[in-house]
């Protein structure tokens, strides 16, 4: 199959099933024989690029389509988006963007749609750049230009100001780097860097995390040096900073109450005994498999449990309870661009209520003198600082306690860890570290 045809198939499936783009992409690349193995990079660029720029593309396409876009068959709409993306954002020659996309449809035996797609894309090809709403309506203009829902642009301007919001929107449309965390149970960061470079990998240390390494994009992470040996784990630098900010004392017993997909649980298990809990048993199997690969399985146990419910006494006592809470994921839109179109304003209130329920159940497991660590991969105040301030008002036995000796370059806000998408190159995370006084 050629690259454009596969990209059409992938985007159509994501739209039809509400699946995560990265999961569908990885599965399809593994299962499909491409005309040229190097085309995997083109498929990835087309899928992520067309998804990141979806609102901008649709705004242009709608001006030339005689049918409402939302009523088009999934593969037809995917083909239009891919053709327009190539023209506007990849600078593929106009004739090639049109003809290659039409040929991809033919290879998928969608002959009946080729005339329509050809006509729309030929009109798109006459434009030098994507059309935009008037700048006088700033929110709508930015929403279309950067392909983020208007409600989210408006909310971010109110929370972060105009300039930072624009930086966040632009960062969400940039390709995310591949970042790994050295497994300190087996190897130091500097030693792993040297080994990667010796293996021909152009690896660089992360700027803030002392255990992170940025590596060039690869077709399959499993093929990268050190994966089979368990020398590293894929984890964004901002997520690594959560582990740094938590500052779990060595030897402390840790309860990770919402452990999937397991990056932080495995990070803690490099030095501590960890009980990884999640609502879904099948997710725990993946965490256990990853712990075996990393060689930390002796320090990590997994148990299925609903973290909004009281924990059984049989699990024992813990020094640190980590709540990596379910959230909107609004800090990870560059990695999961499809999320921006699926989230609704009401999701914030719904998830904030769930987060509060989990906090209430988990705080019961924190002994006097113990730590409660709360984290979300969201930039929204309602899921981050507002959630913690409300918790502290109703729980005077807890106080916020940032880790001692935190490096000044680590991004904080009112004592909490907070990273924002932008020129710093990080995903958006919030983390609070709370000490139980009595």
Contact status, residue 24 vs residue 44, Cβ threshold 8 Å: no
Q: In 125-257, which residue ranges form alpha helices assigned H by DSSP?
A: 138-146, 150-160, 162-172, 189-198, 237-246
- Do 63 and 55 contact (CB within 8 A), yes or no? no
Question: Which candidate, 339, 312, 315, 313, places its Cα nearest to that of 328?
Answer: 339
- Please confirm, yes or no, whether 47 is among the known catalytic residues: no
Q: How far is residue 396's CA from residue 206's CA, in Å, rounded to a whole number?
A: 38
H runs (alpha helix) in 32-147 = 39-52, 54-62, 74-89, 94-107, 111-124, 138-146
Which residue in 266, 327, 362, 377 is the catalytic one?
377
Cβ–Cβ < 8 Å for 178, 233: no
User: In terms of DSSP bridges, do strands 273-278 and 300-304 run parallel, antiparallel, or are they unpaired?
Assistant: parallel
d(CA 331, CA 44): 21
Cis peptide upstream of residue 288 (ω within 30 degrees of 0): no
Give 3-state DSSP helix, strand, coil % of the chain, rounded to 5. 50, 15, 40
CA nearest to 43, candidates 3, 11, 82, 75: 3
Which residues contact residue 183 at a Cβ distance below 8 angstroms, ignoring those fewer than 6 apart?
230, 231, 232, 233, 270, 294, 295, 296
Helix (H) or strand (E) holding 23: helix 21-31
Q: At what angle do helices 111-124 and 54-62 cross, to 10 degrees?
A: 90
Spatial separation of the C-alpha atoms in residues 88 and 365, rounded to whole Å: 54
Burial class for 214, CB neighbours closer than 10 Å (0-12, 13-18, 19+): middle
Determine how many CB atoms are found less than 10 A away from the CB of residue 23.
11
Distance of CA 105 to the CA centre of its chain: 31
- Cα–Cα distances in Å, from 247 out to 181, 322, 392? 16, 11, 20
List residues with catalytic annotation.
Answer: 377
């Amino acid at each position: 199959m050629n690259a454009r045809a596969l990209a059409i198939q992938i985007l159509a499936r994501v739209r039809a099933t509400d699946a995560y783009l990265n999961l569908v992409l990885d599965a399809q690349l593994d299962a499909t024989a491409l005309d040229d193995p190097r085309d995997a990079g083109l498929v990835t660029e087309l899928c992520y690029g067309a998804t990141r720029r979806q609102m901008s593309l649709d705004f242009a396409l709608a001006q030339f389509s005689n049918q409402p876009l939302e009523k088009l068959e999934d593969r037809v709409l995917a083909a239009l988006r891919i053709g327009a993306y190539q023209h506007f954002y990849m600078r593929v020659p106009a004739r090639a963007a049109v003809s290659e996309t039409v040929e991809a449809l033919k290879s998928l035996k969608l002959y009946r749609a080729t005339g329509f797609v050809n006509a729309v894309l030929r009109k798109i090809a006459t434009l030098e750049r994507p059309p935009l709403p008037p700048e006088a309506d700033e929110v709508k203009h930015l929403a279309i230009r950067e392909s983020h829902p208007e409600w989210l642009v408006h909310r971010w301007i109110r929370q972060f100001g105009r300039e930072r919001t624009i930086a966040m929107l632009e960062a969400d449309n940039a390709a995310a780097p591949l970042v790994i965390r050295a497994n300190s149970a087996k190897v130091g960061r500097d030693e792993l860097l040297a080994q990667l470079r010796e293996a021909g990998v152009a690896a660089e240390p992360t700027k803030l995390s002392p255990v992170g390494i940025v590596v060039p994009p690869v077709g399959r992470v499993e093929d990268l040096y050190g994966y089979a040996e368990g020398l590293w784990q894929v984890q964004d630098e901002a997520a690594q900073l959560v582990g740094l900010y938590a500052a779990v004392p060595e030897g402390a017993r840790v309860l990770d109450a919402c452990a999937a997909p397991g990056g932080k649980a495995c990070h803690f298990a490099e030095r501590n005994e960890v009980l990884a809990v999640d609502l879904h048993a099948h997710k725990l199997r993946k965490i256990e498999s990853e712990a075996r690969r990393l060689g930390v399985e002796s320090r990590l146990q997994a148990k299925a449990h609903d973290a909004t419910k009281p924990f059984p006494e049989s699990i024992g006592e813990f020094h640190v309870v980590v709540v990596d809470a379910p959230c909107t994921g609004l800090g990870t839109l560059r990695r999961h661009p499809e999320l921006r179109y699926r989230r609704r304003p009401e999701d914030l209130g719904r998830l904030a209520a769930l987060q509060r329920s989990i906090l209430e159940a988990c705080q019961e497991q924190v002994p006097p003198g113990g730590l409660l660590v709360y984290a979300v991969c969201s930039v929204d105040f309602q899921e981050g600082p507002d959630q913690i301030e409300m918790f502290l008002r109703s729980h005077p036995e807890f106080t916020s306690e940032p880790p001692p000796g935190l490096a000044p370059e680590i991004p904080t806000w009112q004592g909490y860890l907070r990273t924002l998408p932008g020129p710093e190159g990080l995903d958006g995370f919030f983390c609070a570290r709370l000490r139980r006084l009595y």
